[in-house]
Structures are given as C-alpha cells and as structure tokens.
Amino acid sequence: MTEDLKKTGTTILGMVCKDGVVVATEHRATMGTLIAHKETKKLYKIDDHLALCTAGLVGDLQVLSRYLSAEVNLYRLKRDTKMPVNSAATLMSNILNQRKFYPYYVQLILAGWDSEGGHVYSLDAAGGAIPDKYTAGGSGSPYVFGVLEDQYKDDLTVDEGVDLAARAINAAMGRDSASGNGAAIAVINEKEFRTISEDEIKTRLEKMGK
C-alpha cells in the first residue's frame, strides 16, 4: 500500500432516538501528520431511509458506498419497497466478509429507519455487524463514547440527539488530531432524510457554550 493512499483517521457516530436516528461525522482526512483534505465526505445518503458513515481508507469507503447504494436501489426497483435496515447491514456484512483475507480497510456505521423503527449497526472490516442503540468509530471514537456513555438515554428525541451528536463530534475534534474541520450531521425518520446545516450546528454548539 502506498503512503499516499493512507488517508485515515476519522470520527463517526450513530444513535437511535425515539423518533428517528442521528448520524454524524467530521470532515478531515489525514496522511500521517499531514491534513490531506479538509472537506472529505464521510456521511453518505444511501437511500431516503438509510445512511452510511465511514472511517478508514478513502478509496475503499467510496467503492463500498457505491456498491451499497446500487444494491439498495435495485431492491427498491424490483420489489417496489425500501430495503429493511437489517437487510442492508447483512448485505454489507457479506460484502466485507468475502474480502476478509484481503480486506477493505474500513470501519462503518449503517443507520436507518424502516417499518420496525430506527436501527444503528457497527460493521468491521471482517464483516461483523452489531446492532446497538448508539455506537462510534474511527480515531476519535473514545472521546465520542465518553460523551455518549454519560448523556445518552433511551427516550432521547431527535432534537436532543442532534445536540448530543454535535457535542460528541466537537469533543473528538478538540482532542483527536485526525478529526476536525467541521461536522456533518443527518437525521432520518419515517418522513425524511434531513441534513443539518453547518450554521445550525454552530448555533447549537454556541447555545451549549461550546
């Protein structure tokens, strides 16, 4: 693997709220100590009800997001219905597992909303897919987990979840040198896939004194 491909170091998170799911990332991509890119896309809209947050090797992440998006769209066209979130997680798990001896260098969070409610899955490079109420990944994940372990609750609303995600990503950017350059946050519920603007994120952080 050539050194110029090692654009790793990230913070990603996903959480289930009572009225939707919240996913978040930041924008920085690094090569060792070099900040290689400041506007890296790490949060992908796979379908109107499904998002993929990505940490790891940029090329692998982009390929996997295209694979999943294509399969989810084919599922919708063939069956005239959305792919359930657990099916999408299983599909991505199988794709990753097929390459476990020459793996994709990734850590993923798949999140979405379907007829059974909100779901968040953590996926590793060998194809493990673990559902949870909240999870985090990437180099900034220890700081995110510190915030989520302290403040997450089962009856969290989406509005509260966005505040919590902004706080957690901000904590990671403050301590992890591979994370930074602003946050990307999205909300998924039964009605919409909504991206939170950077101005709104800044306003929320200011209200929290961050």
Q: What is the DSSP string of the chain?
A: --GGG--B---EEEEEETTEEEEEEE--EEETTEEEESS---EEEEETTEEEEEEE-HHHHHHHHHHHHHHHHHHHHHHSSPPPHHHHHHHHHHHHHTTTTS---EEEEEEEEETTEEEEEEE-TT--EEEESEEEESTTHHHHHHHHHHH--TT--HHHHHHHHHHHHHHHHHH-TTS-S-EEEEEE-SS-EEEEPHHHHHHHHHHTT-
Cα(53)–Cα(14) distance, rounded to whole angstroms?
8
By annotation, the residues acting in catalysis are 10
Cα(12)–Cα(133) distance, rounded to whole angstroms?
14
Cα(66)–Cα(26) distance, rounded to whole angstroms?
20
